[in-house]
Amino acid sequence: MSGGGSGSRSTAAWARWATRLLAALGSVLAAEAQLTGVLDDCLCDIESIDDFNTFKIFPKIQKLQERDYFRYYKVNLKRPCPFWADDGHCSIKDCHVEPCPESKIPVGIKAGSSNKYSKAANNSKELEDCEQANKLGAVNSTLSNQSKEAFIDWARYDDSQDHFCELDDERSPDAQYVDLLLNPERYTGYKGPSAWRVWNSIYEENCFKPRSVYRPLNPLAPSRGESFYTWLEGLCLEKRVFYKLISGLHASINLHLCANYLLEETWGKPRWGPNVKEFTRRFDPIETKGEGPRRLKNLYFLYLIELRALSKVAPYFERSVVDLYTGNGHEDAESKALLLEIFRDTKSFHMHFDEKSMFAGDKKGAKSLKEEFRLHFKNISRIMDCVGCDKCRLWGKLQTQGLGTALKILFSEKEIQNLPENSPSKGFQLTRQEIVALVNAFGRLSTSIKELQNFKVLLQQTR
């Protein structure tokens, strides 16, 4: 009798364990099942992106981000929030950003990131001339004097109509260089009403959404009324794309926080790493009622948009006149060679998003819609100055500016095609700030997709 009872109990325990295991596996499989196949609004599948990113892009973009030209980013973290009174800056130590001492900045970047110049250019007069001569940070001194004079005029050219972002004034005394490698994006503990207000303002006021339509998982949503996704599918392609870009950016940032989480701190030594529980809370299909996989699909969509922009801007950098100048000739040449190699890889991808499908209606309506699209995104870039955590603000501004630069590229195809080979162009130009943001923002997306693969493995190991 006792033996039989023990056997029954062990059988029942095994059955409960098996049930939990199957449920856990079902959750993993459900997540994976919803993250496969072709993405909406384009003809690309997730599996192709995973393979392309893992084997072609990720190793090279990581290496490029470590180069001096791309690791130092000038940013103003003291700009006041233009929309509401500041909540005050986060006092959590991990929110702090350590600016880079002047002595650490490569001389070519510090001098305005402009023309190649001799050691004599270190004197203040020549440095001043250097800074005035070039806002781009990419022009070689082989230009003729006439070209240099023309370039100075073009540098004054107000191209604000092309900008999708509110750019920081790099001449402001509050603008400082930050070493991105020493200030990595990770979970800082910044959350609550301040963080919620930033994202709520982005979604509610800048994504073309009427107030009568509630976002998914909103506890205030009525039981009846138009569903969010019914409304979204009824929008024109351009406004759907806009929402997906913002949702994808949000998902990417959340993935970084989950993957670089403060797991413990012993004797003042923090240990950072992936937090599966946090990832599950934010993205599990069951816990998020199916919303998590949708957000992750938008991450892939955003990756495609920025990948397309890199393939389109290649001719700008392929010109001999463009030089990623830091003052170290050998490293500068290697950096440009690696960047061009990445561009060749982006061109080899065979399922690019077709941006020509956007703003393709009648000219007047398309122009009006494009301007509305641009102004909404520019507004979002201004909201980043309302983020209370300096480290979150730094990476929010950089990734928003990177996406804004990608959009600027996609809608400047004719100007890029008509670039002169040996002189700057008035029709299309990129500042060093935009170049650094573009590469690092895409590097963050590449990292997100790699981290997502890692979380899939961890979920299978822990369940």
188 is in an annotated binding site: yes
Q: Are 56 and 345 in contact (CB under 8 A)?
A: yes
| Residue 71 annotated as part of some ligand binding site | no
How far separated are the first and last CA of the chain, in Å rounded?
Answer: 35
352 marked among binding-site residues: no
Residue 187 makes CB contacts below 8 A (sequence gap 6+) with 94, 257, 258, 260, 261, 262, 275, 278
Report whether 402 contacts 306 (CB < 8 A): yes
Residue 441 and residue 406 in contact, taking contact as beta carbons nearer than 8 Å: yes
Candidate list 95, 100, 386, 389, residue with the active-site label = 389
Give residue for tokens 């370039």: 151
Q: Consult the annotation and say whether 444 binds a ligand.
A: no
**CA 171 → CA 75, 76, 435, distances in Å?**
10, 10, 17
What tokens were used for 11? Answer: 């059988």
Q: Which residues pair with 271 in a beta bridge?
A: 264
Note if 386 is an active site residue. no
224 annotated ligand binder: no
d(CA 256, CA 247): 14
Helix (H, G, I), strand (E, B) or coil at 275: coil
Question: Residue 126 has which token pair?
Answer: 């020549």
389 is known as an active-site residue:
yes
In angstroms, the Cα distances linking 158 to 118, 155, 163, 378, 397 are 30, 8, 10, 16, 21
Question: Per the annotation, does 79 bind a ligand?
Answer: no
**144: Cβ–Cβ under 8 A, 6 or more apart, which residues?**
none
Q: Are strands 72-76 and 269-273 parallel, antiparallel or unpaired?
A: unpaired
User: Tokens 């993405």 appear where?
Assistant: 39
Neighbouring CB atoms inside 10 A of 143's CB total 19
Would you say 271 and 264 are in contact if contact means Cβ atoms under 8 Å apart? yes
H or E element at residue 86 = none
Identified catalytic residue from 90, 100, 165, 392: 392
Cβ neighbours of residue 156 closer than 8 Å, sequence gap 6 or more: none
Positions at the binding site for FAD: 186, 188, 199, 247, 250, 282
Query: Which residues are known catalytic residues?
Result: 389, 392
Binding-site sequence positions: 186, 188, 199, 247, 250, 282
